[in-house]
Amino acid sequence: MERVAVIGVGQTKYQQGKRETFHELVYEAASKALKDTDITVEDIDNVVSVSSDFWDGRTISSMAISDASGAFNKDISTVEGDGTFGVLYGMMRILSGSFGTTMVVAHHKGTESNMNGITNTSFDPLVERRLGLDALSSAALQARRYMHTSGATEEQFAMVSVKNHVNATRNPFATVPMEITVEDVMNSAMLASPLKKLDCSPVCDGAAAVVLAAERNAKKLSTNKKRVWLNGVGHCADAYRLGDRDLADTRALKKAAKKAYEMAGVTPDDIDVAEVYDAFSYMEPLWLEGLGFCEDGTGPEFEERGAFDFGGKLPVNPSGGRMSANPVQVAGLAAVIECVLQLRGEAGRRQVRGAEKALAHGINGMCGQSHCVWILGK
Amino acid sequence: MAGWKDEVEEIVFPGKICVPYSWTVGSTLSKWYVQLRDDGEIWANRCPSCGRVYVPPKIKCIECYKDMNEWVKLPGTGTVETYTVVNYHEPSLHPKKPPFVYGVIKMDGADTGLVHLIDGVAPEKVKVGMRVKAVLAKERDGHITDIKHFKPIA
C-alpha cells in the first residue's frame, strides 16, 4: 500500500469569542498550512473539511468555506465529526488513487452557540432528548460508572486536569493555560457530579489544517525534515444508546487501537508521546487503558504516579490537550498537528526529546461512542 | 497593513433557527410507547439469536443484526448502574430545576440500561447499586416522560 504523509500543518490560536468568522478562521489555518508546506494553493488537488452544521448554524457549511480552504474550482467533501476522522477520509481519498494532495481543514466556533443545547440534539428525539441530556450530564454518568468499576477518585481525575492545564502553559495555542492545584479543581463549582468546572474543557473557537500527500507527491513537495508519515490508523464505533453500552468498557477503542498498532507494526511501548481525547478529566485515564498504555482500571493510579506527566514514562497531552483548548470538531486535528510538531522537533518548550513515534486519538459521539487512533512516525 | 482590523467596530448578529419537524416514531418504539401510555407497562424485546433483551426495544440486535419480534414484559424495577446529580440549569432543556438526578437503570429482566431521572430521594442519598422502580405519570401521552422518574424501593 502506498504511504501517505503529513507535509504541512497550520492552526489558529484557540480562544473563546474569537472575532473572525469561521470562514476567516479557515482561511487563516489553510494559509498557514500552505506556508508551512511551502507550496501554493494550486498544489492542492482536493479538500476535506470537518465541521458540524448545528454548531455552525448553517447547513452544508463546507460549501461556505470552499474558497477559504482553497477548494474553489476543485472538490470539497465534508466529515461531520472529529478532525481525526477528517484525516482518515483525506487519506482514503489519496489511497483511492483519485487524488495526490489533500488539504484537511476543520473549523469550530463553539462560543457562538450553546454547548448544552447543541449536544442535546445529538440524542434521539424519540427517547432521551426530551430528558434534557447533553454532553456534560452524559459524561458525568460515564465518570461515575468509571469510578465504580476502577475505584478511581475525584482527586485522581483532578490530577489530570492539573497536569494538562499546566502543560498548556508551554503551548502558545492553548485557551486556558493555568498553574492550578488539585484543591483548585476540587473546589471549583460542581456542575454534574462527579464533574466539577475544572474537570471540564472550555469550548472555544479555532481552525486547523493539514496537508496530506501520497508518497510520490510528498517526496516532490516536501523535505525530510517536514515530512511525517501516517503509519497506522484504526477506527471503531460502539452502540448509540448510552444504556446499550457499559460506559466504562472501552471495547470500541481497544479494537481501533489494535488495528492502528498492527498497521504501523508497533506496540504501545514504542510510542514516545500521545495526544489523547480529554474533554473531561476522567476520559484521559479511561482512554489510556483502552489504548493499551495500562491495564483496565489502573489508569487513575498511573496518572497519580505521574506516568503520563510531561517528564513521565509517556508524556500524554503535552499540548495541554482538549482540557486546555476544546475547539470541538477541530480537537482531533489539533491532536494530529501536535504529534506532527513533536515529531518534527518543533514543539518549542513542550518538546518531548527524541520523539520518533506519536499517537493521536479522537472521538465522535457521546461518551466516546466512536474512536479514531493514529500512529505517526518520522 | 492590516491595522484597521484592530480598530474596526465588531458587529454581532443574534440569531435563532426555528424549524418544525414531525419525527416518525416507527413501529417498534410506537408499540413500546402505546403499551406504556395505555397499559402503564414497560416492555422490552429479545434477540432470537443471543437472547439479549433490549429496553427501549430495537428493531435489530446490536450484536447479531437479527430482527427482534419477541416481546417481554418487564417488572419496572431495576438497579442504578450510574448516576449524576445535575447542578447547572438549562431551562430550555432540563425537565426540572437543579439539583436533580439522572441515572442509568439496569432494568430487571433486560440486559440494557435505561437512562432516566431518579427522584423521590435526596440527591446525596443516591448510590450506585441502589434498587429502584419506575413511577409512571398519571397523565400519559406516549413519551419517555410517561415514566415520571425512578424512585428507591423502600
Q: For the segment A342-370, what is each residue's pLDDT rounded down to a tens digit?
A: 999 999 999 999 999 999 999 999 999 99
Residue A203's pLDDT is what? Answer: 93
Helix (H) or strand (E) holding B28: helix B26-39
Does A92 contact chain B (CB < 8 Å)?
no
Tell me the chain A residues in contact with residue B85 when contact means C-beta distances shorter than 8 Å: 190, 192-193
Residue A180 clears pLDDT 80, i.e. is over it = yes
Tell me the chain B residues in contact with residue A192 when contact means C-beta distances shorter than 8 Å: 84-88
Give the pLDDT band of residue A165 (cuts 50, 70, 90).
Answer: very high
Give the pLDDT band of residue A61 (cuts 50, 70, 90).
Answer: confident
Q: Which three cell numbers stand for residue B25?
A: 416514531
Does A225 contact chain B (CB < 8 Å)?
no
* Distance from the A145 Cα atom to the nearest Cα atom in chain B, whole angstroms: 5
Average pLDDT for residues A47-51, to the nearest whole number? Answer: 97
Residue among A126, A131, A148 minimizing CB distance to B117: A131
* Among B residues 51-80, those touching chain A with beta carbons less than 8 Å apart: 54-56, 62
Residue B26's pLDDT is what? Answer: 97
Alpha-carbon separation of residue A30 from A65, B24, B111 (angstroms): 11, 41, 48
Average pLDDT for residues A244-256, to the nearest whole number? Answer: 98
Residue among A192, A239, A244 minimizing CB distance to B87: A192
Alpha-carbon separation of residue A7 from A18, A41, A318, A329, B99 (angstroms): 28, 14, 22, 21, 50
**How many CB atoms sit inside 10 A of residue B9's CB?**
4
Tell me the chain B residues in contact with residue A238 when contact means C-beta distances shorter than 8 Å: none
Q: Which three cell numbers stand for residue A228?
A: 511525517
Average pLDDT for residues B106-128, to the nearest whole number? Answer: 98
Per-residue DSSP letter, A201: P
Residues 6+ apart with CB under 8 A from B15: A57
Give the pLDDT band of residue A56 (cuts 50, 70, 90).
Answer: very high
Give the pLDDT band of residue B18 (cuts 50, 70, 90).
Answer: very high
Q: What are the boundaries of each domain within chain A?
A: 4-114+203-221
Residue B154's pLDDT is what? Answer: 77
Q: Is position B14 within any domain?
A: no
Average pLDDT for residues A142-160, to the nearest whole number? Answer: 98
* Among A residues 186-205, those touching chain B with beta carbons less than 8 Å apart: 189-195
Q: What is the pTM of this model?
A: 0.97
Strand order in the sheet with A76-79: A76-79, A46-50, A101-109, A205-214, A4-11, A228-237, A370-377, A357-364, A273-275
Residue among A130, A143, A244 minimizing CB distance to B144: A130
Percent of chain A with pLDDT over 70: 100
DSSP notation for B57-103: --SB-TTT--B--EEEEE-SEEEEEEEEEE-S--TTT-SSPSSEEEE
- CA A217, CA A137: separation in Å to the nearest integer? 46
- CA B34, CA A173: separation in Å to the nearest integer? 53
CA angle centred on A367, ends A364 and A373, rounded to 5°: 45
Residue B90's pLDDT is what? Answer: 94
Q: Compute the Cα dihedral for A90, A93, A96, A97 and give only its sign.
A: negative
End-to-end CA distance of chain A: 18
Q: Is position B73 within any domain?
A: yes
Q: Which three cell numbers stand for residue A225?
A: 525534515
* Distance from the B106 Cα atom to the nearest Cα atom in chain A, whole angstroms: 8
Percent of chain B with pLDDT over 90: 94
Q: Find the radius of gyration of the CA atoms of chain A.
A: 19
Q: Is position B95 within any domain?
A: yes
Tell me the chain B residues in contact with residue A133 when contact means C-beta distances shorter than 8 Å: 102, 115
Residue B1's pLDDT is what? Answer: 60
Domain with B72, as residue range(s), is 25-152
Q: Is position B78 within any domain?
A: yes
Does A63 contact chain B (CB < 8 Å)?
no
For A280-335, the pLDDT digits (tens) are: 999 999 999 999 999 999 999 999 999 999 999 999 999 999 999 999 999 999 99
Domain A4-114+203-221 = CATH 3.30.565.10 = no
Residue B2 clears pLDDT 90, i.e. is over it = no
Q: How many domains does chain B have?
A: 1
For residue B21, give the chain A residue with the closest CA.
A125
Q: Is position B13 within any domain?
A: no
Q: Over chain A, what is the mean pLDDT?
A: 97
Residues 6+ apart with CB under 8 A from B34: B142
Give the pLDDT band of residue A7 (cuts 50, 70, 90).
Answer: very high
Check B84 against A145: CB less than 8 A apart. no
* Distance from the A195 Cα atom to the nearest Cα atom in chain B, whole angstroms: 9
Mutate to test the interface with A, among B45, B50, B74, B115 (most CBs of A within 10 A): B115
The more confidently predicted of residues A61 and A259 is A259
Percent of chain A with pLDDT over 90: 98
For residue A248, give the chain B residue with the closest CA.
B82
